[in-house]
Chains A and B, each alone.
Chain A
Amino acid sequence: MESSKVIHAIYNDDDVLMNAVKKVKTAKHHIEEIYTPFPVHGLDKAMGLAPTRIAITAFLYGCVGLSVAVLMMNFIMIQDWPQDIGGKPSFSFLENMPAFVPIMFELTVFFAAHLMVITFYLRSRMWPFKKAENPDPRTTDDHFLMEIPVHGNENELQNLLAETGAVEINIVDKAH
């Protein structure tokens, strides 16, 4: 089993962290991961992360939900058994559509919301008995941790990170 080293730089302020990220990026080092106790506004932009596409998936799921509602109501109320219920015109879907709109709306929202949440869980690999991937418990409270892989440039990296105001710099062996 190959073991590779990573460097953990710990900060205790999000402003310092943001500046550190910019510095590390300009020095062209790859940032493996950053652990923060709360969302830091603009961190994804500073790290150069690609924008999320979850809104697009939600739109598509909504279209699926709308189709399900339309097909379901059309089959049940119009095709399968077009009864006269209180004089509502069940001759064609369009004629009786206003009565179906509440269901069409709710199913669109239902599909869009739930499938998007499930997509989010899948893509971020979250589930009930998942083992927490936390390198340092303090990052859930008041510390910020930047993880950078080391490729034989330990000293250079350490100096750079020390300059950025890290309160603690650890080199960690990470078993793969």
Chain B
Amino acid sequence: MYTFSNRLKIFAGILIVLGLLGVAYGFMSSHKSLDEVKEMIAAEASHGGHGDSHETDAHDVSNAHSTDAHHAETATNDHHANVGHDDAHAEHVMHQIHNRPYSALYVAAFFFMMIALGVLAFYAIQFAAQAGWSPLLFRVMEGITYYLLPGAIIVLAIALFAGDHIFVWMNPDMVNPESEHYDKLVDGKSGWLNSTGFLIRGVIFIAGWSIYRFFARKFSLAQDEAQAGDNSNFKKSFRIAAGFLVFFIYSESMMSWDWIMSVDPHWFSTLFGWYVFASMFVSGITVIALITIYLKSKGLLPEVNDSHIHDLAKFMFGISIFWTYLWFSQFMLIWYSNIPEEVTYFVTRIEDYRLPFFGMVAMNFLFPLLLLMNSDYKRIPWFVVMAGIVILAGHYLDIFNMIMPATVGDRWFIGVPEISAILLFAGLFILFVFYAISKAPLKAKGNPFVKESEHFHY
């Protein structure tokens, strides 16, 4: 039995307080008026070469990728021609600056929610596959998935609260033919992309995941109390796990369209759902490994041996490569065919996000590939922890790269709003996860495979 130590509680509390302060600061410092933004742009331009090239970059991007701007520049360029392009640019930049704290909050909230969701999928797969090695880790996984319900509700709440600061299609002017901001493409998609549908779908996804999580946990605890030889609860878990996995793969895919892909409503990609799934899966497995190593270092998981760590590290290694495969497949297909309407997505990222965009490939692929290839290294806890931290940072950047280019464009920076949003949700995550872990014995002793798991040896 794990007791939630006061030190960890205080640590999580400090993270939350620091995070809240930083997030509040982010919202206050982003309220810039149009005049302030014009001054700022003028100051940047006076830097000479840099300012100039920057400005042309920004124009290229905003023209190619009109959804960055709230007012769909390309579609309405004619209206703005007489107003003067400088004003339009300044307004565009002002919106990007306003969007930043919302996006920073959203990226971090999604990142931690996605960890819990990835773990839930992994957990269901362990049941459906009747894995013999993992039952010793089930309580750790159940603890992590406890964050899913609050985490997902927070993500949905931020999405609806931020409205058109993150999701331009939530601006009612975009679907109003009378408005100068009218966007025909967005209007054409309004059958799917409308706030009501977004909310209903979000509630269905969260309800589906949470119902599975609730019953899986219930049956898992009930199996502990069951008489020897009575596996009825395990059988129920097996059945609902199989059902959940079917629901999950549909809902996850649609969730990724709604919660991530729709920040760029002019752009679409077919393997996007899988790509997001790979990201959440590898982050989830990494967090299982990190928390397992933490609890084991406290002496609370005496039966978990280095073969279990080895298996988790193999999953981290393999799914990292799977993620890279999907990342590259998406990138290469679009780069190769170079169709203007889809390639803008990568043009923005390569021009304005070069370091995070390619840096994340190094962090999510090269680093785990080289570190975790050796079978001996996969058994060394500090090695797995080190690789795990880089993988998690890399997948944060992945989500960052999905959201930020659409909302803040080239006005991005990983500064106070971003870091404090990470601190805030990291604190919440620790609080929820370790609370849930402290609520049940760490060994799922009723599981019919737990004996095999104790003797697991690779």
Mark A residues whose CB is within 8 Å of B: 55, 59, 87, 98-99, 101
Residue pair B335, A59 in contact (C-beta under 8 Å): no
Task: For B338, list chain A residues within 8 Å (CB).
Answer: 87
Count contacts between A and B, CB distance < 8 Å.
Answer: 12
Residue pair B335, A98 in contact (C-beta under 8 Å): yes
Indicate if B373 sits at the interface (CB-CB under 8 A).
yes
Residue pair B336, A55 in contact (C-beta under 8 Å): no
Residue pair B328, A101 in contact (C-beta under 8 Å): yes
> How far apart sit A101 and B328, CA to CA, in the bound complex (Å)?
9
Indicate if B382 sits at the interface (CB-CB under 8 A).
no
Chain B, interface SS category = helix
Task: For A98, list chain B residues within 8 Å (CB).
Answer: 328, 331-332, 335-336
Residue pair B331, A59 in contact (C-beta under 8 Å): no
Task: For B328, list chain A residues within 8 Å (CB).
Answer: 98, 101
Task: For B336, list chain A residues within 8 Å (CB).
Answer: 98-99
Residue pair B332, A101 in contact (C-beta under 8 Å): yes
Task: For B375, list chain A residues within 8 Å (CB).
Answer: 55
Residue in chain A with minimal CB distance to B328: A101
Task: For B332, list chain A residues within 8 Å (CB).
Answer: 98-99, 101
> How far apart sit A31 and B328, CA to CA, in the bound complex (Å)?
52
Query: 12 A–B contact pairs at CB < 8 A?
Result: A55-B375, A59-B373, A87-B338, A98-B328, A98-B331, A98-B332, A98-B335, A98-B336, A99-B332, A99-B336, A101-B328, A101-B332
Q: Chain B's nearest CB lies how many Å from the CB of A76?
A: 18
Interface residues of B in 305-338 (CB under 8 A from A): 328, 331-332, 335-336, 338
> How far apart sit A135 and B331, CA to CA, in the bound complex (Å)?
58
Q: Report the 7 A-B pairs with minimum CB-CB distance, sorted nearest first.
A: A98-B332, A98-B335, A99-B336, A101-B328, A101-B332, A98-B336, A98-B331
Residue in chain A with minimal CB distance to B373: A59
Given contacts A55-B375, A98-B336, A101-B332, 9 further A-B contacts (CB under 8 A): A59-B373, A87-B338, A98-B328, A98-B331, A98-B332, A98-B335, A99-B332, A99-B336, A101-B328
Residue in chain B with minimal CB distance to A88: B336
Q: Chain B's nearest CB lies how many Å from the CB of A105?
A: 9
> How far apart sit A172 and B108, CA to CA, in the bound complex (Å)?
74
Residue in chain B with minimal CB distance to A55: B375
Residue in chain A with minimal CB distance to B325: A105
Task: For B335, list chain A residues within 8 Å (CB).
Answer: 98
> How far apart sit A87 and B332, CA to CA, in the bound complex (Å)?
15
> How far apart sit A101 and B365, CA to CA, in the bound complex (Å)?
14
Task: For A101, list chain B residues within 8 Å (CB).
Answer: 328, 332
Q: Chain A's nearest CB lies how many Å from the CB of B365?
A: 12
Residue in chain A with minimal CB distance to B370: A59
